[in-house]
Amino acid sequence: MGRAADGHLSLHCGPSRRRKLKAWVLLRLRYGFQPAVGDESRLLVWGAIRLRVLEGPELTLVSDSAVGDVLLRGLCGEL
């Protein structure tokens, strides 16, 4: 867990393929997040909650709201 430039939380899922896959499965199947439509294909959306996805050697999820911060804390506990 860390803080993004805007002060909201970011969750680094690490280079582990297993941990990245578990994060995707939890977000998509348990929480119902869907990819945003259009130019923002690097966003996952669930209602008003938006998570920015940064991929590289590590998967990083960045929230843009206080509710997203709470969700990332819960996800961190499950990973």
**First and final C-alpha spacing in the chain:** 12
For the chain, percent of residues with pLDDT exceeding 70:
95
Residue 75 CB neighbour total at 10 angstroms: 20
- Quote the DSSP letter at residue 27: I
Mean pLDDT of the chain: 86
pLDDT digits (tens, 9 = 90+) for 1-12: 777 767 788 888
User: Average pLDDT of 47-69?
Assistant: 88
Whether pTM exceeds 0.85: no
